[in-house]
Amino acid sequence: MAIITNLTTDQGDVRPVYIRLNSFDQVANHAVPAIARFRAFASRDAFEAGASFLWERLVSFTANHQDAAPSLWTQAYTALQTTDFASETRTRCAELEGQIFQIETQLAALPEPEATEPMANAAAQARADADAEVRHAARQSFVEQLERLEAERPVLAAELARHRETAAAIAASAPA
């Protein structure tokens, strides 16, 4: 699941950011608060690959494992929304493609999580398009090679005829 929101650059440009729950730590131990690791990515491709993230946040919460409890993702997301990052001393910006992004501190304003299915479908479509391009290029290469061979056919036929004549002459001149 993904949270899709926007960041504003120092230049005022609005760019999308994709936030995902990257991992859980200590979630099985009921006595210790669980730790959710969230990462924000600058593009859908980076989000899907899980690399080159803009920032990472560790959020602790008490995991409720009861049957009627919300999913751990929902519990972690709620904890992310209610966590106050204002007291953090680390810088709250990230650089991407030469632009500085201010990281929003009001995480409670983030939209609800969306399923990653649209992103997965887009990635699958991109892979299918890439495969189609590879097949088209291979087909084109095959057609070009076939055309080249067809063009060489008369030359090869003449050469074959010369070799046959030479072989026949050698056979005729050989002692019986």
Asked if 54 and 103 touch (Cβ cutoff 8 Å), the reply is yes
Q: What is the pTM of this model?
A: 0.45
Residue whose token pair is 């204002």: 86
Residue whose token pair is 């409720």: 64
3-state secondary structure of 169: helix
CA–CA dist 147, 157 (Å, integer): 16
* Boundaries of every domain in the chain: 2-114, 116-176
- Express each pLDDT in 90-120 by its tens digit: 334 454 555 555 554 444 455 555 554 555 5
pLDDT at 163: 93
Tokens of 169: 């002459």
- Express each pLDDT in 21-60 by its tens digit: 777 766 555 546 777 777 777 777 877 777 677 777 777 7
